[in-house]
Amino acid sequence: METPYSTYIKAEFIETDTGNKVSRRSLISGSQNIVLGGKTIVHPKCTIRGDLRRAGPTHQASVLIGRFCSLGPYSVLRPPHKSYKGVFSYYPLKIGDHVDIGENSIIEAASIGSYVVIGKNCIIGRFAIIKDCCLIEDGAVVAPNTVVPPFSVVAAGPPAKVVSHLPESIQEVFEARSKDNYAKF
């Protein structure tokens, strides 16, 4: 019932000085535009597209990820793009702390809050805004431009709808879960 210990081959993961554990088999492009908060785990075959960034003179981060996050294997994190008044540009993807992204999920949201758990095989559409303390169930397809309010459970196929609400203590539960997951990795 508690999270089991998972082991990994030492050589497969790069551990940074802030405690991030990044798999060597993950597909990271544009790593200078990606900011990982401390103690985040990037599993093998996870794709992070830091190269899709707004064309601008300054050095801008296109993917910002918080602490104690876990990016599952085969997941894809892409900054969303839009054509506004004839100008095509990418917008930054911001992810908060304690976010657990399941395997094989495609994330193209504009921002994801803290303490969010995203299940496996999910598709988060462009410019979706997921607020804090949410749970996205496995296989949910969140339509573009949706706003997922805090403490909601979102499920099922397009467009994913809010099916129920989470208890108030869910922030501590998710926080303990992500810290536990990191500690046992």
Partner 1 sequence: MSSASNTLISVLYHCPCNGATQSPGGLDTGVRVNSEGEEAVVPNASSNSELEAQLKLPLQPNSELLVLRASAIENLYYCDDCSELRCSRCVIEEPAGYHCPNCLFDVPTASVRSEKNCCARNCFQCPVCTHMLSVVETDTETRPFSFACSVCYWDSREIGWEFEKATGISPQIEAIKASDQQAKEYTSLLEYWRTVYRISATSAPTSTLGGHSVGGALKSRFGLSSGLAGNSASTAVIPPYQAAGYMDTDHTRVSQRMNIENVDTVPPLSADLTSIEPQRIRLHMKLARRCRSCHHILIKPESKAQATRFKIQLMAANFLPTITLPNRLSPKTPVLLPEMPLRVGKTVPLVLRFANPLYSEMRVTVAACAPEQDSHVEVVAQQFVLAPFTELWEYDEDEDEDSDGSSSGERSAGRQRGIVDRQGNRVAIQLNLTPKAVIDNLTVPLFVTCTHQDDMDMDTDAPASAPAGGDSSRRTVTNKFWVYISLGPTVQ
Q: Which stretches of the chain bind partner 1, using CB under 8 A?
A: 1-5, 7, 70, 72, 100, 102, 115, 125, 131-133, 143-147, 149-152, 158-159, 161-162, 167-173, 177, 181, 183-184
Q: Which is nearer to partner 1, 61 or 173 (CB)?
A: 173
Which residues sit opposite 184 in a β-bridge? none
Report the nearest approach of partner 1 to the CB of residue 70 (Å).
7
Report the nearest approach of partner 1 to the CB of residue 65 (Å).
17
Closest C-alpha among 59, 56, 120 to residue 90:
56
CA distances from 120 to 4, 92, 103, 117, 132 (A): 19, 23, 5, 10, 19
Report the nearest approach of partner 1 to the CB of residue 32 (Å).
29
Q: Which is nearer to partner 1, 43 or 53 (CB)?
A: 43
CA distance 177 to 158: 28
- Decide: helix, strand or coil at residue 82: strand
Report the nearest approach of partner 1 to the CB of residue 163 (Å).
13
Q: Which is nearer to partner 1, 81 or 161 (CB)?
A: 161
Closest C-alpha among 129, 134, 97 to residue 119:
134
Q: Which is nearer to partner 1, 19 or 30 (CB)?
A: 19
